Amino acid sequence: MTDAPKLLSGGNPQIAKGDGEAPIQAYIAAMPGWKSAVGARLDALITAAVPGVRKAVKWNSPFYGAPDGDKTWFLSFHVFARYVKIAFFRGAALDPQPPELSKKSDVRYFHIHEGDALDEALLTAWIEQAAVLPGERL
């Protein structure tokens, strides 16, 4: 029997870094409570919106990159105690911009709280826009 992943501050799962589907699914499975369903839905929306999307877990967060192989990333998400934070690395270029500001001028965030109704059309539009912008090399 395998030990469950450790939950870090705010309930974020500690998952070994790795490329591909398996680490992403391990992260989503380890997301606590209602957040796991949010993670699964986000992954499904991203996968549907960006055929061939590259996936990896880095710094205990899922990362998504355009399939062109340039090793850059357009989006990640992270678990916090009260919400799941989606980071759009070029979010300032999205229309409309995600509402939460960052210390970095290009980055914008979107927070999903328990019980929030997801505007999947808006999320998909942001994902599609973000995937064709220059990515972030991390």
Tokens of 52: 């061939």
| pLDDT for the residue 6 | 84
What DSSP state is assigned to residue 97?
A: P
Give me the percent of the chain exceeding a pLDDT of 70.
Answer: 97
What 37-43 contacts at long range (C-beta under 8 Å, 24+ apart), as own/partner pairs, is 38/84, 38/112, 38/118, 39/77, 39/79, 39/84, 41/118, 41/120, 42/77, 42/84, 42/86, 42/123
Q: How far apart are CA 63 and CA 102, in angstroms?
A: 18
CATH topology of domain 9-132: Aspartate Aminotransferase, domain 1 (3.90.1150)
Q: How far apart are CA 5 and CA 16, in angstroms?
A: 9
| pLDDT for the residue 1 | 44
> What is the arithmetic mean of pLDDT over 96-105?
96
Q: What is the pTM of this model?
A: 0.93
pLDDT, one tens digit per residue, over 64-90 is 999 877 789 999 999 999 999 999 999
Q: Helices (DSSP H) in the chain: which residue ranges?
A: 21-30, 34-49, 120-132
Residue 1 identity (one-letter amino acid):
M
Domains of the chain, by residue range, sit at: 9-132
Residue recorded with tokens 């992270």:
78
15, pLDDT greater than 50: yes
